[in-house]
Structure 1
Amino acid sequence: MDVLGFIDLPGWVLTIIIILITLYLYSLWYHSLWRRLGIPGPRPIPFLGILPRYKQGLAKTDLELINTYGSVVGIYHGHLPVLLVSDPEMVKEIFIKEFSNYTNRPVPFKMDEHSAFSVGTAKDNHWKFLRSTISPTFSSGKLKLMVPKIQRCCSNLVENIKQQSKQGEQVDMKGVCETFTMDVIASTAFGIDVNSQNEPNNQFVKHAKAAALGEIFGPKFFLIMMFPILKHFFTIHFMKKEAVDFFRSVVESAIGLRKKGQEVYNDFLQLMLNARHDDKQSDYFTIGDLKEFKNRGLNNSEVKENAVTFFVAGYDTTANTLAFACYCLATNHDVQDKCLEEIENICHGERPQFEDLSKLEYLDRFFNEVLRLYASAVRIQRGGKQGITVKGVYIPKDVDISVPLYALHRNPTYWPDPEKFDPDRFTEENKAKRPDYAFIPFGVGPRICIGMRLALMEVKMALVFLLQNFSFSPCSKTEIPIELETGGLIRAKNGIPLKINNREKP
């Protein structure tokens, strides 16, 4: 084929050239959004956006982007636009004042029908119904009833560490904390004794670890990033099928036992069962007004899927946070001594009770500082149903609004010398100097982490038990600073090995 009278190209070559030019223009068009809106950000790579930057890890990338471009940064995951917002006033506007518009988490693909029943991913009135039904599990009265079970798990944690440290070897606190939190979530939420701490290859822990390895970062998701129209055709699973099937079978067995037995349960599963309606209804009923939802009660799929969500989420995030807390104790001996002194003054050598936890003010400041540096999630997200303007910034609908917690919690404007570990940042005097939403480790607004109160009680109870029995120190294998995994959760890539020293009982 003669091109402009100068070059004679075969037809197939010209076709390829036209396709490549078309694809390039297609990519340029998708990547023009933030430039047109005047929002700063890095120059995207055609079709990839900023994905190659994530080789260094999501947390480090967010920190780099915020430090370079400011508190509002426009980026692209492939061709999917994402707005990073770390301005506390904008966070308040979006997550609280405009919550009716930003009710939902952005999901840029078709969910499998089971995922749609989880309180973490449900939308609009369906989410409101699930949230209002499940939330009473975490009232002060219900949490107090869980204390004996948590105390038993804490005692097992102490014995587990004693056994592992007998040989004089370092103890990987990440692994130890994982088995502990699995025991807690199984016993307090489902009345099941799984004994993870005494069984290194426990099936519950094995499947909980595997559950997070779904299809979120698989080939289908990357195709959607590059060609967003495919989101209407590809179904993606949040969690690995084999793991989800295991936990579903566990929940079904627990439900079956409750139907036969006479024991009274006051836990997460029982509350859902009490709200369940056994009459015939669609198992994929996720739309309707709030009154309609309340009239029908929970269906079987909602009971099972929220139970599975609690198994996985309650295990992993809390385990990571407790392990990081032990690391912070080991690398800050002055802080460790202050925590122990307060515990002795409040508990007098006895096991902590529910009422004691609220009196441990320094331990609370310590734990907040742990959460500042090592909040479980790197980002929290919302998606808008309509485009709105916030503080002079226009945000189109359906855009992923992501708050980069790792970067927000290290912003020197709010946190001088941000890498320094200092619990006194959380004295009442110092908190008054910061914007309210500069510290949001569990999220913010009506969709804040539903299990937050249980997680706080569980970790603080464990820390008291641990400090009553041990002191922590770095060992030859302890990384300072810790190398983090590169994904969306804050995890220690190589574990958290520490030296454990037994405390002498008076």
Structure 2
Amino acid sequence: MFDISELFQVSASTVVWTIFIITVFAYGIWPYTYLKRYGIPGPIPLPFIGNLPLLASMGEAQSALYLSKRFGRIAGYYFGRYPAVIVNDLDMIQKILVTDNSSFCNRYQIFPPKGVFVNSIFFAKNDHWKMMRYLLSPTFSNGQLKQVVPLIQKVIMNAKNNFGELADQEQEFDITTVVGRFTLDVISTTAFGVEIDSQKNPNCPLVKSCLKFVKFNIFSSLIPLSFICRPLWYLVDFLRFPGTLENKLDYLVSFCQDTIKFRKTDKTANRRDMMQLMLEARMNNNNTSIDEEESASLKDFVSKYQDTQSLTDKEITSNALTFLVGGYETTSSTFAFLIHSLAFNQDAQEKVYKEIMNVIGEELPNQDNVRELMYLDMCLSETLRKYPVVTRLNREADEDIKVGDWTIPSYTDVVIPVYSIHNSPEYYPDPEKFIPERFTPEAKGTRHPYTYMPFGKGPRSCLGMRLARLELKMLAASILREFKFTPCSKTEDPIQLTQLFFLRAKNGVWLNVTRRGKA
């Protein structure tokens, strides 16, 4: 006899499995049809994890280069469950960064920033970003740079002594370590008015904390799990595992906060460093450090909030930390790549040396005389072309928007692949070669201006660009007129690069150094 209860048992089981399959499809498969619906090509994503294996194995820079070669001017991929669109078309890039900047004003964020970075200009959005950009711009004006030149010169003397000891010892050395300490000394004295001499005190807590932060590997932590399931981000952050980012910042945050408290109570010292300028910053119409690309974006905003806005302690801490960590990583790696390139191109190194001696001689490098070092500037530009430390720019559209022949989806990571463009043979023949002459005025005039973006473009370009170039050229002029660099047994060519967001040498940059004139 037929038992009707069996029918209900089968049906219940079927329902459970049906719900399970639909749930798996909705969460792990359906999101990966998003870019396809916009007609954007790209590699086939895996369920639940998207293209994370590709990104983890190749790194941000190389994966963007690979996808650009394979799919052309525009390509899509998935960072876990989150869609990203790589834009390689230069005219489209110009529209995104400048022409249509009002629609792409913000940087894409997979997760909202927490902790100290909530108030960083890097992550700020809309009016909050406009306010901070306006208030922080004078911190990096030409007038302010003149005031920090003596501070940089003092740190350079310590660096010269360090290179002199290495030359006398005739030892192979990793230049990234030496220059990293120099860069940290420059930032600590120009930003905070603190002289730490990390070149002689490598165990200084500030030095050790910076190193912990910049060596943080996102793919060796628990963070990638949150790219698959957003709530896991908040769990990782709440539990503060030893490998999480917040744990690497505790000392740096305390350092910034203590400096602010001291400045507010100490009224005797007449400091004009970045920390003091941030403390004194207030909205007004007298900011002459804003360039043309920024002024159109900020003009109406300044009139609206004039004399009513200043930076809070949290905003000062957040931005001071951004300058400290960002400046440390980018400047030290760039200088190491520059010296490595000159070590393998001795003709270029000798040409730089002769230019320094003809233009500066024995004078101390400063803001005015390094401006006359045209060939050194070309070498630096070529280094930044070949090794852009910031390998990509990110933007986000607040609504679907037509750019060129493509529709860019809203709330999607719009990636400008700086490394890929800089190393494209279409714009730079033999891109793997170090050719400073690519940056003569005549050569630059033949290229699209958006083939070169080491500091970004448009209103959200790097605030610290002028300071970075100044300290790099001052250090190079001081060091290269007294020392000569050559490859050693540990020198890599080509350099093995890291698989992280910032470009740096995976195994360091090892070289030999000798004093000029020594046989």
Give the alignment's TM-score, normalised by structure 2.
0.88
1:420 aligned residue (433, 436, 449): 433
> Aligned to 2:249, what secondary structure does the other structure show?
helix
1:192 aligned residue (187, 191, 194): 194
Equivalent position of 1:286 in the other structure: none
- Provide the C-alpha distance between the structure 2 equivalents of 1:423 and 1:125, rounded to a whole number of angstroms: 40
Mapping for residues 285-434 of structure 1, pairs under 5 Å:
291-292=304-305, 295-434=308-447
Greater shift, 18-27 or 496-505, is seen at 18-27
- Provide the C-alpha distance between the structure 2 equivalents of 1:10 and 1:397, rounded to a whole number of angstroms: 41
Contact 1:165 1:171 in 2 (8 A): no
Mapping for residues 61-76 of structure 1, pairs under 5 Å:
61-76=63-78
1:262 aligned residue (258, 268, 279): 268
Deviation at 1:12, TM superposition (A): 7.2
- Provide the C-alpha distance between the structure 2 equivalents of 1:170 and 1:215, rounded to a whole number of angstroms: 27
Mapping for residues 175-190 of structure 1, pairs under 5 Å:
175-190=177-192
Equivalent position of 1:502 in the other structure: 515
Mapping for residues 27-42 of structure 1, pairs under 5 Å:
27-42=28-43
Deviation at 1:226, TM superposition (A): 2.3
- Provide the C-alpha distance between the structure 1 equivalents of 2:216 and 2:514, rounded to a whole number of angstroms: 39
Deviation at 1:413, TM superposition (A): 1.1
- Provide the C-alpha distance between the structure 1 equivalents of 2:76 and 2:365, rounded to a whole number of angstroms: 47
Mapped pair 1:251 → 2:222:
no
Mapped pair 1:109 → 2:114:
no
Contact 1:378 1:405 in 2 (8 A): yes
Mapping for residues 440-455 of structure 1, pairs under 5 Å:
440-455=453-468
Per-residue Cα deviation, 1:436-457 (whole angstroms, up to 9, x for no partner): 1010001111000111110000
Contact 2:116 2:317 in 1 (8 A): no
- Provide the C-alpha distance between the structure 2 equivalents of 1:335 and 1:42, rounded to a whole number of angstroms: 41
Contact 1:109 1:235 in 2 (8 A): no
Mapping for residues 4-153 of structure 1, pairs under 5 Å:
15=16, 19-20=20-21, 22-24=23-25, 26-54=27-55, 55-153=57-155
2:211 aligned residue (209, 212, 221): 209
State the one-letter code of the partner of 1:225.
F
Deviation at 1:361, TM superposition (A): 0.8
- Provide the C-alpha distance between the structure 2 equivalents of 1:239 and 1:270, rounded to a whole number of angstroms: 31
- Provide the C-alpha distance between the structure 1 equivalents of 2:216 and 2:176, rounded to a whole number of angstroms: 22
> Aligned to 2:260, what secondary structure does the other structure show?
helix
Deviation at 1:299, TM superposition (A): 1.3
> Aligned to 2:496, what secondary structure does the other structure show?
coil
Deviation at 1:183, TM superposition (A): 0.2
- Provide the C-alpha distance between the structure 2 equivalents of 1:216 and 1:129, rounded to a whole number of angstroms: 31
Equivalent position of 1:459 in the other structure: 472
Identity over aligned pairs, percent: 38
Contact 1:473 1:500 in 2 (8 A): yes
RMSD, aligned CA = 2.8
Q: Which runs of 5+ in 1 are unaligned?
A: 278-288
Deviation at 1:78, TM superposition (A): 1.7
Per-residue Cα deviation, 1:193-215 (whole angstroms, up to 9, x for no partner): 01101112222221012224669
Q: From the superposition, tell whether residues 20 and 212 of structure 1 become closer, same or farther in structure 2 (CA, over 3 Å).
A: farther
- Provide the C-alpha distance between the structure 1 equivalents of 2:321 and 2:306, rounded to a whole number of angstroms: 21
Per-residue Cα deviation, 1:403-431 (whole angstroms, up to 9, x for no partner): 11111101111111111110111111111
- Provide the C-alpha distance between the structure 2 equivalents of 1:351 and 1:425, rounded to a whole number of angstroms: 29
- Provide the C-alpha distance between the structure 2 equivalents of 1:201 and 1:219, rounded to a whole number of angstroms: 25
Per-residue Cα deviation, 1:20-47 (whole angstroms, up to 9, x for no partner): 5641354332111222222221111112
Per-residue Cα deviation, 1:192-239 (whole angstroms, up to 9, x for no partner): 001101112222221012224669557764344324587799868998
State the one-letter code of the partner of 2:37.
R
Equivalent position of 1:284 in the other structure: none
> Aligned to 1:196, what secondary structure does the other structure show?
coil
Q: Which runs of 5+ in 2 are unaligned?
A: 284-300
Deviation at 1:95, TM superposition (A): 0.7
Q: From the superposition, tell whether residues 363 and 219 of structure 1 become closer, same or farther in structure 2 (CA, over 3 Å).
A: closer
State the one-letter code of the partner of 1:241.
E
Contact 1:375 1:406 in 2 (8 A): yes
Deviation at 1:350, TM superposition (A): 2.2
- Provide the C-alpha distance between the structure 1 equivalents of 2:100 and 2:219, rounded to a whole number of angstroms: 30
**Residues paired across the two proteins, number:** 490
Contact 1:251 1:304 in 2 (8 A): yes
Q: From the superposition, tell whether residues 296 and 350 of structure 1 become closer, same or farther in structure 2 (CA, over 3 Å).
A: closer
Per-residue Cα deviation, 1:109-168 (whole angstroms, up to 9, x for no partner): 132153221111111111111111111011111101111111111111111122233322
Deviation at 1:314, TM superposition (A): 1.4
Greater shift, 15-24 or 392-401, is seen at 15-24
Per-residue Cα deviation, 1:343-383 (whole angstroms, up to 9, x for no partner): 11101232212111111111111100000011111211011
Q: From the superposition, tell whether residues 19 and 368 of structure 1 become closer, same or farther in structure 2 (CA, over 3 Å).
A: same
Equivalent position of 2:172 in the other structure: 170
- Provide the C-alpha distance between the structure 2 equivalents of 1:241 and 1:381, rounded to a whole number of angstroms: 23
State the one-letter code of the partner of 2:271.
Y
- Provide the C-alpha distance between the structure 1 equivalents of 2:516 and 2:400, rounded to a whole number of angstroms: 58
- Provide the C-alpha distance between the structure 1 equivalents of 2:162 and 2:168, rounded to a whole number of angstroms: 10
- Provide the C-alpha distance between the structure 2 equivalents of 1:113 and 1:53, rounded to a whole number of angstroms: 30
- Provide the C-alpha distance between the structure 1 equivalents of 2:129 and 2:222, rounded to a whole number of angstroms: 26
Q: From the superposition, tell whether residues 38 and 322 of structure 1 become closer, same or farther in structure 2 (CA, over 3 Å).
A: same
- Provide the C-alpha distance between the structure 1 equivalents of 2:397 and 2:216, rounded to a whole number of angstroms: 25
Contact 2:427 2:451 in 1 (8 A): yes
- Provide the C-alpha distance between the structure 1 equivalents of 2:207 and 2:234, rounded to a whole number of angstroms: 34
Deviation at 1:492, TM superposition (A): 0.4
State the one-letter code of the partner of 1:456.
R
- Provide the C-alpha distance between the structure 1 equivalents of 2:375 and 2:147, rounded to a whole number of angstroms: 25
- Provide the C-alpha distance between the structure 2 equivalents of 1:121 and 1:388, rounded to a whole number of angstroms: 22
1:486 aligned residue (487, 495, 499): 499
Q: From the superposition, tell whether residues 164 and 219 of structure 1 become closer, same or farther in structure 2 (CA, over 3 Å).
A: closer
Give the alignment's TM-score, normalised by structure 1.
0.90
- Provide the C-alpha distance between the structure 2 equivalents of 1:481 and 1:49, rounded to a whole number of angstroms: 31
Deviation at 1:333, TM superposition (A): 0.7
- Provide the C-alpha distance between the structure 2 equivalents of 1:37 and 1:231, rounded to a whole number of angstroms: 28
Equivalent position of 2:246 in the other structure: 241
